[in-house]
Amino acid sequence: MKIIWAEEAFSAWKDTIDYIVQEFGPHAAEKFYKKTEECQDMLISSPLMGKVEPLLKGRSHAYRSLIVQKRSKLVYYTQGDTIFIVDFWDVRREPKQQAERLT
Protein backbone atom coordinates (compact mmCIF):
# COMPACT_ATOMS: atom_id res chain seq x y z
CA MET A 1 0.00 0.00 0.00
CA LYS A 2 1.07 3.54 -0.63
CA ILE A 3 -0.32 6.85 0.57
CA ILE A 4 -0.99 9.92 -1.54
CA TRP A 5 -1.92 13.22 0.09
CA ALA A 6 -4.21 15.61 -1.78
CA GLU A 7 -2.82 19.13 -1.92
CA GLU A 8 -5.72 20.47 0.18
CA ALA A 9 -5.21 17.83 2.86
CA PHE A 10 -1.48 18.47 3.05
CA SER A 11 -2.05 22.21 3.25
CA ALA A 12 -4.58 21.81 6.10
CA TRP A 13 -2.18 19.47 7.93
CA LYS A 14 0.70 21.93 7.50
CA ASP A 15 -1.49 24.78 8.78
CA THR A 16 -2.21 22.67 11.85
CA ILE A 17 1.51 22.08 12.41
CA ASP A 18 2.17 25.83 12.09
CA TYR A 19 -0.59 26.58 14.59
CA ILE A 20 0.79 24.06 17.08
CA VAL A 21 4.29 25.56 16.79
CA GLN A 22 2.93 29.06 17.45
CA GLU A 23 0.60 28.13 20.30
CA PHE A 24 2.35 25.22 22.01
CA GLY A 25 5.93 25.18 20.72
CA PRO A 26 8.08 22.99 18.49
CA HIS A 27 8.11 20.01 20.84
CA ALA A 28 4.31 19.71 20.68
CA ALA A 29 4.42 20.08 16.89
CA GLU A 30 6.98 17.29 16.64
CA LYS A 31 4.76 15.01 18.73
CA PHE A 32 1.85 15.78 16.41
CA TYR A 33 4.01 15.11 13.36
CA LYS A 34 5.06 11.73 14.77
CA LYS A 35 1.46 10.86 15.62
CA THR A 36 0.49 11.58 12.00
CA GLU A 37 3.27 9.28 10.81
CA GLU A 38 2.03 6.55 13.17
CA CYS A 39 -1.47 6.90 11.74
CA GLN A 40 -0.13 6.55 8.21
CA ASP A 41 1.78 3.41 9.19
CA MET A 42 -1.36 1.94 10.75
CA LEU A 43 -3.35 2.72 7.60
CA ILE A 44 -0.79 0.98 5.43
CA SER A 45 -1.16 -2.13 7.60
CA SER A 46 -4.96 -1.90 7.94
CA PRO A 47 -6.44 0.50 5.39
CA LEU A 48 -10.03 -0.11 6.47
CA MET A 49 -9.39 0.61 10.14
CA GLY A 50 -10.87 4.11 9.98
CA LYS A 51 -14.58 4.43 10.53
CA VAL A 52 -16.86 5.23 7.62
CA GLU A 53 -17.34 9.00 7.68
CA PRO A 54 -21.11 9.51 8.13
CA LEU A 55 -21.14 13.01 6.63
CA LEU A 56 -19.66 11.65 3.41
CA LYS A 57 -21.91 8.65 2.83
CA GLY A 58 -23.28 8.36 -0.67
CA ARG A 59 -20.37 10.22 -2.23
CA SER A 60 -18.23 9.03 -5.12
CA HIS A 61 -15.88 7.17 -2.75
CA ALA A 62 -16.28 5.26 0.51
CA TYR A 63 -14.66 7.89 2.72
CA ARG A 64 -13.25 6.90 6.08
CA SER A 65 -11.67 8.91 8.86
CA LEU A 66 -9.01 8.28 11.44
CA ILE A 67 -8.43 10.40 14.52
CA VAL A 68 -4.84 11.67 14.71
CA GLN A 69 -5.31 13.46 18.01
CA LYS A 70 -8.52 14.38 19.75
CA ARG A 71 -8.96 17.53 17.66
CA SER A 72 -7.77 16.34 14.24
CA LYS A 73 -8.58 13.57 11.83
CA LEU A 74 -7.51 12.31 8.44
CA VAL A 75 -10.22 11.77 5.85
CA TYR A 76 -9.31 9.20 3.23
CA TYR A 77 -10.46 6.52 0.85
CA THR A 78 -8.76 3.50 -0.64
CA GLN A 79 -8.53 2.49 -4.26
CA GLY A 80 -6.59 -0.58 -5.24
CA ASP A 81 -3.29 -0.53 -3.35
CA THR A 82 -3.42 3.24 -2.70
CA ILE A 83 -4.73 5.26 0.21
CA PHE A 84 -5.77 8.77 -0.78
CA ILE A 85 -5.76 11.25 2.10
CA VAL A 86 -8.18 13.85 0.81
CA ASP A 87 -8.67 16.15 3.78
CA PHE A 88 -7.49 16.91 7.28
CA TRP A 89 -10.23 18.09 9.61
CA ASP A 90 -10.17 20.08 12.79
CA VAL A 91 -13.06 18.41 14.60
CA ARG A 92 -13.88 21.63 16.47
CA ARG A 93 -15.02 23.27 13.24
CA GLU A 94 -18.44 22.94 11.65
CA PRO A 95 -18.42 19.38 10.24
CA LYS A 96 -20.92 19.98 7.45
CA GLN A 97 -18.84 22.83 6.05
CA GLN A 98 -15.76 20.63 6.06
CA ALA A 99 -17.68 17.82 4.35
CA GLU A 100 -18.85 20.18 1.62
CA ARG A 101 -15.25 20.64 0.48
CA LEU A 102 -15.22 17.06 -0.80
CA THR A 103 -17.14 15.95 -3.85
**Dihedral class, residue 41 (left if φ above 0, else alpha if ψ from -120 to 50, else beta):** alpha
What residues pair up with 101 in beta bridges, in sequence order?
none
pLDDT at position 96 is: 57
Q: Is the pLDDT score of 42 beyond 70?
A: yes
Residue 98 banded pLDDT, cuts 50, 70, 90: low
Tens digit of pLDDT for each residue in 45-77?
999 999 998 887 887 889 999 999 888 899 999
pTM of the model: 0.85
For the domain bounded by 2-96, which CATH number is listed? 3.30.2310.20
